[in-house]
Each structure stands twice: as C-alpha cells, then as structure tokens.
A and B are shown apart, each in its own frame.
Chain A
Amino acid sequence: MTTIAATGVFRVSWLLLAFPLFGAAVLLIGGRRTDKWGHLLAVLMSLASFVYGMIAFFTLLSQTGAGRSQDLHVYSWIPVDGFQANIGILIDPLSVSFVLLITGVGSLIHIYSVGYMAHDPEKRRFFAYLNLFIAAMLLLVLSDNFLSLYAGWEGVGLASYLLIGFWQFKPTAAVAAKKAFIANRVGDVGLSLAIMLMFAEFGTFNFTGVFDSTKAGGSGVATALGLLLLLAACGKSAQVPLQSWLLDAMEGPTPVSALIHAATMVTAGVYLIVRSNPIFNDAPTAQLAVTVVGAVTLLFGAIIGCAKDDLKKALAGSTMSQIGYMILAAGLGPAGYVFAIAHLLAHGFFKAGLFLGAGSVMHGVDDEVNMRRMGGLRKLLPITFATFGLGYLAIIGIPPFSGFFTKDGIIDAAWSKGGTDGWILAACTIIGAAITAFYMTRVMLMTWYGSKRFEEDGVLGGAGAHPAYTEPHIPHPHESPLTMTVPMILLAIGSVAAGGFLIINERLQNFLQPVIGAPFPDHGIWSWPGIIALVLVVLGVGVAWAMYGRMPVLAVAPRGSVLTRAARADLYGDAFNESVLMRPGQWLTRLSVFFDSRGVDGLVNGLAATIGGTSGRLRKVQNGFVRSYALSMLIGAVLLVAGLLVVRL
C-alpha cells in the first residue's frame, strides 16, 4: 500500500482531533462557569468531528489508488537526529471506518447522555471526559506511527479510568476504576515493549517504515512483535488472561459502558492487530496465539454472560465474547481481517444500542440492575423494548440482521482455515453462537417478559443509585425522553442494516482491500457452518425459553450448578489473579521487607551499634583529670623509648 502526502480536504484532518480536544479543554478549564451550556458544547464538538469524518469518508471514496491513503504531518514531537517522533494523521479506509464509528456512535451517546445525566450535579465533568475520550480514541486510530498511537492508547485508558470512577463516592466504582487502570497497564507494557523493539530493530516506528522492514526482519522479530502486540490487545480489549477488569468497569455510568466498554475503546485491540497485519502475516505463531486467545475469550465471556443477574454485567460478558470473535477473526490472517472489522462495526451499533437500552431500563426502574427484580417491562417502555429487541436479534445472528452476516463470516473464515485448528476454532465459534443465543434470550426474557417482579418485591437500586433509592420501593417505569430514545432508534437501524450493508457485494472488503491485503475468495452468504450455527442458535433460544420463559423467574437466584456458581464468580478470574499474582506478590514484598529490615538494616545498624558501644566505653578514658593525662603521656613516651631501644639493640 502506498501513502501520499495529504491533499485537499485532508490537509485539515487535524480538525478531527481538535474539536473534541477543544471541548474537553473548555469544559475542564472553564469549570463551573460552563455548567449551563457545557454539555451542549460537548455534543456540538463530537458532531463537528462526525461531520468532518463524513466529508473525509466521501472524499476518500472519490479517490483512487494511492489517493486512498493520505498522510498529514501535524507536528514534530521529538525531532532528534536518528529519532524522529512525529504526530501524523493517516487517513485511509481502515482509519476512516473507525472515525465514523467513533464519532458517529460517540455523538449519539453524547446526545443520549444529555438525557441520561440530566440530573447529575457533575454533568459538565462527565461531558468533558467523554470529549477527552473521543479525542484520545481518534488519536489512537488516526496516528501514522506507533508512538502517537501509544499516546492515544494511554489517553483512552485515562478517560476510561476517569469515567469508570465517575461516581467515585461509591467505593466499588473507585476500586473498579483502579482495577481497570492497573489491568490495562499490564497490556500497555506489551505495547511499549513492542515499540522499543521496533525502534531497536528497524530504527523507526512509522507504520510504513515498520511494515516495510518486517519482511526483512525475519520471522523471529515478527513473532516477538506479534506476541507483544497481542498482550497489548488483551489488556485493552479485555481478553483472557487480562479480562477481569471489564465486568467491574460496569460501575461507570451506562453511556460510558456503551461507548467505551462496548463500542469503541475495547475494540482498540482488534484495530491494533488488523492495523499491524503485515507483522502478523509474517508470524504464524503469533497468529495462532491470537486465535487461541480469541477462542478462549469468546467462550469465557459467553459462559459468564449466562449466569449474571446484573443486566449490565450480562452485557459486559457478551462484549468480551463478541470481541473474542473479532480477535479470533483477526488471527486468521487476510481471510479474517475484513470480518473482524465488519463484526466490530456491527457490534459497535448493536452493543451500544443494547447498553443504551439497558440504561433506559435502569432509568425507568430507579437504577435497579438486577434482572430478577425486573420483568414485564415491554408494555411500559415500548420504544426501548423495540430497539433492544432489534439489537438482540442482531447479536444472536438471526438473518437478515447485522450479526448474522458478520458472525457468519467469522465462522466461515475459521472453517475455511482447514486442518485441526480450523475445525476447533470453527467449533468454538459455533458453540459460542449458541451460548450467545442462550444468554441474550435469557436477558430478553428476564427483563421484558414474565411477571412484573418489581411490583411484588420492589427494587433496591444498583450502579449509580440515587441516595434516596437505597430502601426497597416500588418504581414507576416510564419511557425515557426523546434525547435518549432517538439515539437508541438510530443505533437500532444500524443494528439491523449495518452487517448486510457491509458484507453484501463485499463493500467493506473492497473498501479495506488496500490496507488488509488480498481479497478473500467469496463463499456466498450461506455456508454449511453458518447453517449449523443458525440451528444451534435456535436451539439456544429454545433452551433459554424453556428455562426462563416457560417457568417463572425466581426473585432470588437459586444456588445453581458448579458451572453457574463459577460463572457468577467471573469463572474465578479474580480468584486466579488473587492467588497466582497478588498473594505471591505480597509474599515477595514481605520477604523483601524482612530481608531489608533484618538483613541489610540489621547489618548496618549492628555495625553502628557496635561502634557506638565501643566508643561509649572508650570515652570514659577522657575523665578530665590533667594528671591522668600526664600519666598516660608519660607511659606512652616510656613505651616509645623502650620500643626504640628494643629495635636498636
């Protein structure tokens, strides 16, 4: 792929970053003075980025060949001889796809938040962080080199931390924010090491420079880079083994869960792998690791999603699982990249829609998140129900909704890989699809159907609960205001149409072809693995209906099987981290402290005490009596003379 210097409208592509950054700066520096209109400015800045993104997209469509990849040099960050760190903006089909997702879904969620956060006293700060996030995420996907990508990567991590802990007066939220931050740091170490390795091996970290040198660098370097980038992706995208933070991240306000922890930031890992496709294409071992991580996570997340009674956590398990699909697809090489991105974009629509629906439900039932206290809401929140339902159909992959096309593509690509690993991967994706159908149907039935359990038992309130709602009480569910329902409707339209639009006629594939390499031979929309998956999906829906539709949902969760209890405890992810990493770490710390205080300090202090004690005794010689001094001088002199005599004689 060749890149040319930016021309025409792309010469001002820095505006994309500038709008949200300006919004965040005004809101954060302006302080309380901007309380009245701050949220409107934030929405406006996000929309401005989106409008520019649309212009860039259509301009890019009108270009051909090298014109489809335009690089703008913005700023020489560290211009030292032999070390050129620049901030550059690369507009190409892949980055523009992400720009449209981030600014489009981001703007919708900004608008939604105007309604959702209307009564929050800290609304301005919330919108400032949201704008900060948009700016950092755009820097991540628009960078033309790994170093400024890393800056954006850390920026979204910071925004994620700030927004998970937005209600920091709740200890759980503060702890969840810290946990997300620390788990992300582990992955970030991978990315920073990868960048250092690139610079050491290739002397550059520009995309073009690195990708051109990868082939010459040998497979060892490519494999190391691939594994380090995979570690980075695991941290940011909540993949096993760094998955544990995502479920706790649901402590943040629901729009944050929708934007950062479902639609955009958590997919940054997929972006990283697809963007680095020349590295992974040269490193089959790293690709295998990527597919394994994806396959494990897609089952891991799906199993967790089956047991959670917390509406948002069930959706968070689902997010992990769906990103597992994308990572798996990205690990399949050129055959899978397009489906990874297609599923990512479609997932951005339907999962954001589902989360916004969840937020709307929570709005209706006084911030309750426990689905066992919901039920029968479909008549009370009809618009939310309709949009949530369309998102549901999209995620389980019923044709002709989005998920069918994109997930089917992934299953098909895994199947086409061939060999034993292809079989296993395809089996994982198909089983994952069935489990997805089960847990999403469970969520649907528990939330929208059945008896109105909130009228019998009342609700308690959960994440972000208003202080007044800590006692059980009967809520009066109502449909949310227009600012919330309109974004949900638009996202629902995306959930319905995006997948088909992107996959049919290979639109996305042709568009992304310059970035992701040779096109993949077409298998058609229907394939045998896809049909098997569809049958299992229907089966999953049936099982869920038998368990939660036909029989009443208990207000208190039954004890459940071993697997259910394990899934409720996040498959012991936290317990694993605690016993394998935290406790040995604590022991190591204690051992070091012991060695330091007893060993090192003991030696030094003991030496000092010995010298102190000896001199304490020695100083008694200084008794102040002149005559005793005279005596010692005399004795000394006599001894000297005697000594001299002995030596002489």
Chain B
Amino acid sequence: MSPAHYVFLAVILFVIGAVGVLVRRNAILIFMSVELMLNACNLAFVAFARMHGNLDGQVVAFFVMVVAAAEVVVGLAILMAIYRARRSASVDDASLLKY
C-alpha cells in the first residue's frame, strides 16, 4: 500500500467530519466530527512524513493531539455550562450572540 492511499483516506475522513459539523445540531456530535477532522489531518501529516522521509509531520501530529486534548477539555466545559443554562445541547438554540 503506497502512502498516497492514506492521504485519500484522510481526505474522506476530513470531508465526513466537515459535513458532520455542518449538518449536525447536537453539540456533542459536532465535537466528535471536529475530532474526526483533526485526526484526518493527523493521518495526512503522518502519511506526508512517510512520503518525504522525515519526522516533521509526525512531530506536528503529536502537537495536534495535545492541542485537541486541551480543546476537548475547554469545549466540554462550555458545553456543560450551556446545557445547564438552556437544558439543550443544540447549537442552534444557543444563537443569542448576534446582530
């Protein structure tokens, strides 16, 4: 299997994730889709690292994982706060911050 296949897989995963973010209303599912997109990127990084024969992509993948973990902590905390306040996890309900 050539590394190019991993890139194609990463693209497919990324698109699934992006569509999930756009069409889903539940914040938890949007979160999961975001994670999918991040991991698609990680996959692409690692694949490119393999293709170019250096470690840069692998290093970045580790960074992404760390940042994603931190993001999840903050994101879930916000989600909890919103759910407590509005009794709903739908992102369309939380649309007060607008014009």
Contact = CB atoms under 8 A, between A and B. Distances in A.
B91 A626 contact: yes
A624 B96 CA distance: 6
A622 B91 CA distance: 15
B97 A624 contact: yes
Contact of B94 (A620, A623, A626): A626
B22 A622 contact: no
Nearest to A618: B99
B22 A625 contact: no
Contacts of B98: 622-624
Q: Is chain B's interface secondary structure helix, strand, loop, or mixed overall? A: loop
Interface string B57-94: 00000000000000000000000000000000001101
A634 B22 contact: yes
B95 interface: yes
Contact of B99 (A623, A626, A627): A623
Contacts of B92: 625, 627
B88 to A, nearest CB: 13
Interface size class of B (residues with CB under 8 A): 10 to 19
Nearest to A616: B99
Contacts of B22: 627, 630-631, 634
Contacts of A550: none
B21 interface: yes
A631 B91 CA distance: 14
B18 interface: yes
A626 B22 CA distance: 9
Contact of B21 (A619, A620, A623, A627): A627
A624 B95 contact: yes
Nearest to B27: A626
Contact of A622 (B18, B94, B99): B99
A619 B97 CA distance: 12
Interface string B1-45: 000000000000000001001110100001000000000000000
B91 A619 contact: no
Contacts of B96: 624
Contacts of A625: 91-92, 95
Contacts of A634: 18, 22
Interface in A595-649: 619-620, 622-627, 630-631, 634
Contacts of A626: 30, 91, 94-95
A620 B99 contact: yes
A622 B97 CA distance: 8
Nearest to B98: A624
B99 A619 contact: yes
Nearest to B91: A626
A380 B91 CA distance: 108
Nearest to A634: B18
Interface of B: 18, 21-23, 25, 30, 91-92, 94-99
Interface of A: 619-620, 622-627, 630-631, 634
Chain A to chain B: the 7 pairs with minimum beta-carbon distance, closest first: A624-B98, A624-B95, A619-B99, A626-B91, A622-B99, A622-B98, A625-B95
7 contacts: A620-B99, A623-B98, A624-B96, A624-B99, A627-B21, A627-B22, A627-B30
Given A624-B96, A625-B92, A634-B18, 9 more contacts: A619-B99, A624-B95, A624-B97, A626-B30, A626-B91, A627-B21, A627-B22, A627-B30, A634-B22
